[in-house]
Amino acid sequence: MFTKEQLNDIFNLAQTLRVYTAKDRPLGKIMASIFYEVSTRTSCSFAAAMQRLGGRVIYMDETSSSVKKGETLEDSIAVMAGYSDVLVLRHPTPGSVMKASQHCRKPLINAGDGIGEHPSQALLDIFTIREEIGTVNGLNITLVGDLKNGRTVHSLARLLTLYNVQLRYVSPPSLRMPSHVVDFVKEHGISQEEYSSLEEVLPDTDVLYMTRIQRERFETQEEYERACGHFIVTPKLMTRAKKKMAVMHPLPRVFEISTEFDSDPRAAYFRQAEYGMYVRMALLAMVLGKC
Amino acid sequence: MFTKEQLNDIFNLAQTLRVYTAKDRPLGKIMASIFYEVSTRTSCSFAAAMQRLGGRVIYMDETSSSVKKGETLEDSIAVMAGYSDVLVLRHPTPGSVMKASQHCRKPLINAGDGIGEHPSQALLDIFTIREEIGTVNGLNITLVGDLKNGRTVHSLARLLTLYNVQLRYVSPPSLRMPSHVVDFVKEHGISQEEYSSLEEVLPDTDVLYMTRIQRERFETQEEYERACGHFIVTPKLMTRAKKKMAVMHPLPRVFEISTEFDSDPRAAYFRQAEYGMYVRMALLAMVLGKC
Amino acid sequence: MFTKEQLNDIFNLAQTLRVYTAKDRPLGKIMASIFYEVSTRTSCSFAAAMQRLGGRVIYMDETSSSVKKGETLEDSIAVMAGYSDVLVLRHPTPGSVMKASQHCRKPLINAGDGIGEHPSQALLDIFTIREEIGTVNGLNITLVGDLKNGRTVHSLARLLTLYNVQLRYVSPPSLRMPSHVVDFVKEHGISQEEYSSLEEVLPDTDVLYMTRIQRERFETQEEYERACGHFIVTPKLMTRAKKKMAVMHPLPRVFEISTEFDSDPRAAYFRQAEYGMYVRMALLAMVLGKC
């Protein structure tokens, strides 16, 4: 056990450090990385971003003991906010991030909540277009694959309405872009068209945004192969495309893009992942002031 | 395979870096965070503390491959001590931290060992009182809930005997403060009284320390509700309390404190978690010299 | 949702940060720690090494969601390379690290791939000999235990052929050094001899390299005990050894070395683990330029 003198020493130093932390924080701010759903890539991207800014990271995930003891999300966030200067939260339940942010006394960044919004993905997609092509305006942007269930393409289509673009959707009939997105795009005066063939739209496409189609979306293996066999990027297919354009994919891919295409300068999907880190650096730097 | 020249280059550089690490260590000291029992909050608090001091963290937990291969705790600690400048250890077995520290050639901080001591929690509790009220001496401190099984209240009551305080215990009859704590407090000449009603002690309480009562402590749901229904902090109840006082809780809470009370200035429990980080900064800074 | 102006602010800042990251990187480089197989100790050693050099770490393991979604190792590595400046990879499949490195645009360090090579372990073993004895040349080096299945002793024997040493192998008859290693050592003109008794070789041994023998290698408990009972380092046995020599072990040990020997100055096995960190610092510093 401690003596009274030891306690006083500890408490006086703790108080000094409390003031020091609040005022100066010269040794790096802390980001709390809170993932109630595994997403190693998003987590790594944010952790790299924070650390490249000179900050530090603490980690909490869904195996947390407090969560098991029945603590609410709001309480967990309130505690983590006490340890950190900014919080990054991913949660499987739509709306939960918004709810958590209402009581949070530190900036909270949404890293995805279920089928809800995933804002940093849409930002990095548009940043990729800007960096790869030089501009977003005036482009033909073709979204391919499972447009029904893919939340990344929903967020992207919505955010692209802020630009002067032409959208094309290529998907199997059963996986078409849902009407809530189509209506939103229409209301914002952006032109959009649906296609069932990739070859048809490829020649004047500036950005080809591929997505993964999950096997479970189809009843039989045959239906799956019949639907997906048409949407595979290969070096041969890409001879029909522009010389200056970008092929993107939110990753992980399965077979939608042949690995033989990886060495093509138009293959932007791995750079796209890296651009995500710079966008997250920007988001963190903006909410933190400077680190 | 390597050439002899490559090996020499590597080994000469390794030796230089060894000397550099031992002498200067200008780039931050390393804390080994070793948790044989999940405790995300304590782990995050220590990691944030070390990093706010400019240090770095490495992590080992109970899923470690060496542990699975039958390595003893002492051996695991000896290896981690080779990588780090200070170790923080949590273990489910009482006495294990003390045992491990005997052979450890670096400072080792106890982050809890089963039903044994949990010293940094008691320190942060008293630091909270000091920061919230301005002093510890002369206060009426009321401990509420499961006083039988809660190790935090045992450690706190013991440590408070170093101050001039008056202790009150409020609990269901089956969850009273155990005699080993009551005897200890008595021997140190600190006044203590037991109550079965929160209302009775509330008006002159300076610190209300709430704890969680686990459902499993009671045979039936009725018994549980009858016992616990009396110990819930609400805005209405708190109209009877002093204007300047602090409500504390080691967290996580379940329903012992109504969330409606969270915005009350006397609700100190989330600040309490944050104070813990400053106390851990102080402990780390003291054992490390300065970081 | 964002406004167009907000997007422009974010993207302009992201671009500035991208240039800044590529050019200056004054705030520490990033190491991606990628473990498809649990190895807490190797992971901690690399993380401590990188952080002692002023760098930062991001973590990916086999529970990664992308791996579960069927992503190839090459794709996972390509994404992590976008976030980091150097990658450390451990994988259970022999050859996989080499395969992954072929497409990786950043330096990739092998932290072990199954029964394949484990280069940094052999390096640290030789660095330990150098630091403990002062030289490697001219030494009698005795390898003891399961020489058939232990990949560390295979790598070590091969790498020692670059030095002027004499090798001795002590093992149960069923766990002798395999012919591919014996042949390799012979081709390089290094003398080697097999023994079945530790006592016989001990008096003129300069380095005694102990390894763990797994119970599962033997059909019955009796056979196991008969074989292994002969290869245990105790203070009593070590009275027959030189005063200046080193006892090493890749750890974890089970009972091959009595804990009573730990306080002997010749017990080098815990320092050996620490030397590993300096070797990894050297490897990282070399591939990164300086951090």
More confident position, C104 or B230: C104
Chains with 3 or more CB pairs closer than 8 angstroms to B? A, C
Q: What is the pLDDT of residue A117?
A: 59
In chain C, the number of structural domains is: 2
pLDDT greater than 80 at residue C20: no
Q: Is residue B170 part of a domain?
A: yes
Task: Please give the share of chain C, as a percent, with pLDDT higher than 70.
Answer: 96
At residue A56, φ and ψ (nearest 5 deg) are: -125, 165
- Look up the ipTM and state it: 0.91
Tokens in use for A233? Answer: 């990027």
Q: Is residue C286 part of a domain?
A: no
Q: Is residue A202 part of a domain?
A: yes
Task: Tokens 């072929």: give the residue.
Answer: C102
Rounded Cα distance between A162 and A152, Å, is 16
pLDDT digits (tens, 9 = 90+) for C110-143: 998 877 657 788 899 999 999 999 999 999 999 9
Confidence of residue B90 (pLDDT cuts 50, 70, 90): very high
pLDDT greater than 60 at residue A26: no
Closest residue, chain A, to C73 (C-alpha)? A252
pLDDT digits (tens, 9 = 90+) for C65-116: 677 777 899 999 999 999 999 999 999 998 899 899 988 999 999 998 877 6
Q: Which residues of B touch C275 (CB under 8 A)?
A: 14, 18
Tokens in use for B204? Answer: 């002159």
Task: For residues A78 and A145, state if they share a domain.
Answer: no
Looking at A127-136, A262-271, B54-63, B231-240, which range is the least confident one?
Answer: B54-63
Task: Tokens 């603590």: give the residue.
Answer: A71
Mean pLDDT of A235-255: 95
Nearest-Cα distance to chain B for A114, in Å, is 23
Q: Is residue B56 part of a domain?
A: yes
pLDDT greater than 70 at residue C22: yes
Task: For residues A92 and A193, state if they share a domain.
Answer: no
pLDDT digits (tens, 9 = 90+) for A229-243: 778 999 999 999 999
Nearest partner of C207 among C258, C280, C156, judged by Cα: C156
Task: Please give the share of chain A, as a percent, with pLDDT higher than 70.
Answer: 96
Q: Is A170:A231 a contact under the CB 8 Å cutoff? A: yes
Task: Please give the share of chain C, as a percent, with pLDDT higher than 90.
Answer: 62
Q: What is the pLDDT of residue B181?
A: 96
Confidence of residue A291 (pLDDT cuts 50, 70, 90): very low
Name A4's Cβ contacts closer than 8 Å, sequence gap at least 6: B162, B163
CA count, 13 A, side-chain hemisphere, A25:
18
Name B89's Cβ contacts closer than 8 Å, sequence gap at least 6: B34, B35, B36, B77, B97, B100, B108, B109, B110, B111, B113
Task: For residues B110 and B128, state if they share a domain.
Answer: no
pLDDT greater than 80 at residue C30: yes
Residues of B with CB under 8 A from a CB of C: 1-4, 7, 9-11, 13-15, 17-18, 21, 25, 27-28, 30, 32, 56, 58-61, 63-66, 69-72, 74-76, 78-84, 103
Q: Is residue C156 part of a domain?
A: yes
Task: For residues B135 and B237, state if they share a domain.
Answer: yes
Closest residue, chain C, to B12 (C-alpha)? C282
Rounded Cα distance between B116 and B97, Å, is 10
Rounded Cα distance between C223 and C225, Å, is 6
Confidence of residue C291 (pLDDT cuts 50, 70, 90): very low
Rounded Cα distance between C83 and A182, Å, is 34
State which of B57, B86, B116 marks the end of a domain: B116
Q: How many CB pairs under 8 A join A and B?
A: 124
Contact between chains at B40 and A65 (C-beta distance less than 8 A): yes
At residue C193, φ and ψ (nearest 5 deg) are: -140, 150
Task: Name which of B39, B45, B53 is nearest A83 (Cβ-Cβ).
Answer: B45
Q: What is the pLDDT of residue B291?
A: 46
What is the pLDDT of chain B when averaged over all its residues?
89
Task: Name which of C38, C39, C51 is nearest B28 (Cβ-Cβ).
Answer: C51
Task: For residues A73 and A140, state if they share a domain.
Answer: no
Contact between chains at B84 and C48 (C-beta distance less than 8 A): yes
Q: What is the pLDDT of residue A24?
A: 57
Q: Which residues of A touch C31 (CB under 8 A)?
A: none
Mean pLDDT of C245-255: 94
Mean pLDDT of B58-81: 86
Nearest partner of B231 among B214, B248, B255, judged by Cα: B255
Rounded Cα distance between C50 and C284, Å, is 7
Task: Name which of A52, A127, A252 is nearest C70 (Cβ-Cβ).
Answer: A252
B249 catalytic, yes or no?
A: no
Task: For residues B180 and B254, state if they share a domain.
Answer: yes
State which of C86, C117, C148 marks the end of a domain: C117
pLDDT greater than 90 at residue B85: yes
Tokens in use for A203? Answer: 């020649």
CA count, 13 A, side-chain hemisphere, C39:
23
Confidence of residue A185 (pLDDT cuts 50, 70, 90): very high
Looking at A34-38, A115-119, C159-163, which range is the least confident one?
Answer: A115-119
Contact between chains at C54 and B28 (C-beta distance less than 8 A): yes
Mean pLDDT of C264-269: 98
- What residues form DSSP beta bridges with C113? C91
Q: What is the pLDDT of residue A54?
A: 87
Q: Is residue B288 part of a domain?
A: no
Question: Catalytic amino acids of C?
Answer: 41-42, 69, 90, 118
By residue range, what is the domain housing residue B106? 4-116
Mean pLDDT of A92-111: 90
Q: b/e map of C94-124 (b: 16 or more CB within 10 Å)?
A: eebbeebbebbebbbbbbbbbebbbbbbbbb
Q: Which residues of B touch C33 (CB under 8 A)?
A: none
Nearest partner of A233 among A268, A203, A261, A206, judged by Cα: A261
Mean pLDDT of A236-255: 95
More confident position, B2 or A247: A247
What is the pLDDT of chain C when averaged over all its residues?
90
pLDDT digits (tens, 9 = 90+) for B253-267: 988 999 999 999 999
Name A39's Cβ contacts closer than 8 Å, sequence gap at least 6: A90, A111, A112, C65
- What residues form DSSP beta bridges with A58? A32
More confident position, C266 or B14: C266
Contact between chains at B13 and C259 (C-beta distance less than 8 A): no
Q: What is the pLDDT of residue B216?
A: 77
pLDDT digits (tens, 9 = 90+) for C148-166: 988 889 999 999 999 999 9
- A176 to A197, A205, B115: CA distances (angstroms): 13, 19, 58
Task: Name which of C1, C14, C65 is nearest A278 (Cβ-Cβ).
Answer: C14
pLDDT greater than 80 at residue B22: no
Q: What is the pLDDT of residue C27?
A: 56
Cβ atoms within 10 A of the Cβ of A200, count? 10
Mean pLDDT of A219-226: 82
Task: For residues C88 and C133, state if they share a domain.
Answer: no
Task: For residues C133 and C254, state if they share a domain.
Answer: yes
Task: For residues B144 and B239, state if they share a domain.
Answer: yes
Task: For residues B171 and B242, state if they share a domain.
Answer: yes
Task: Tokens 């990385």: give the residue.
Answer: A33
Task: For residues B246 and B135, state if they share a domain.
Answer: yes
Q: What DSSP line would sit under chain B, residue for residue?
A: ---HHHHHHHHHHHHHHHHHHHHT-TT--EEEEEESS--HHHHHHHHHHHHHTT-EEEEEETT-HHHHTT--HHHHHHHHHHH-SEEEEEESSTTHHHHHHHT-SS-EEEEEETTS--HHHHHHHHHHHHHHHS-STT-EEEEES-TTT-HHHHHHHHHHTTS--EEEEE--GGGPPPHHHHHHHHHTT-EEEEES-HHHHGGG-SEEEE----GGGSSSHHHHHHHHTTS-B-TTGGGGS-SS-EEE--S--SSSB-GGGTTSTTB-HHHHHHHHHHHHHHHHHHHTS--
Contact between chains at A63 and B38 (C-beta distance less than 8 A): yes
Rounded Cα distance between A272 and A120, Å, is 12
Torsion of CA C31, C32, C33, C36, to 10 degrees: -160
Tokens in use for C255? Answer: 């009972």
Q: Which residues of A touch C21 (CB under 8 A)?
A: 52, 278, 281
Nearest partner of A123 among A256, A270, A281, A257, judged by Cα: A281
Name C270's Cβ contacts closer than 8 Å, sequence gap at least 6: B78, B79, B81, B82, C251, C262
Task: For residues C126 and C267, state if they share a domain.
Answer: yes
Q: What is the CATH number of the domain that holds A56?
A: 3.40.50.1370
Contact between chains at A13 and B285 (C-beta distance less than 8 A): yes
Q: Is residue A223 part of a domain?
A: yes
State which of A58, A82, A117 marks the end of a domain: A117
Mean pLDDT of B36-53: 92
Q: Is residue A233 part of a domain?
A: yes
